[in-house]
Structure 1
């Protein structure tokens, strides 16, 4: 199963009673293992969780900390991009050249990289002292 297909499969489990906007995300770790996440809304908006954040949390919970590939899918007229916070979360665990596929449920795709999604990402280098 491709990463986009896994994101599509898990998207159906999204909990979106308020927006009805289901998003699925799948991350392939450096080990080859796939981790999936969905958006989970909360009546105390905006206390929900994005699909990408859920996939990152599943990866870290499994003991892995390096992203090799990302896919995100939604029922949208154009491929949906991760929000700014999720871009930063993905950049925490993936290099700028990590491939990202953004897809729609009707087959449109956009291929990009983490670096293109978040140029000038805040990285650990900023925390180093000379």
Structure 2
């Protein structure tokens, strides 16, 4: 699979993931579980970087709803977005396998709402621009 095909597959996977999170509802699990041991960020960068060599930096609006017409700009890193999403999903999978379905679903939804959802949307927009 070439780079363009791999990025097209990633765009589709991100679309499916964005849709799937809408159905991740559950009451949560009141029990306390230890945090799962995730793959280190650098190890994922070493693994994913060669698969997506075209992913780079992009201009990002950090907050788009506070002061209309006065955007706070920053720099995004598409590979870092992908790594953050992968690590969050790894945590959900580990919870699914070792704690409970309720715990995993709660973390999937909470993580999307509080962290990796913005990475997903930013990466989708970046990939959309690259595909034109």
* TM-score normalised by structure 1 residue count: 0.27
**Greater RCO structure (CA 8 Å; 6+ sep):** 2
Larger Rg: 2
Which has a greater percent of strand?
1
Larger proportion of helix: 2
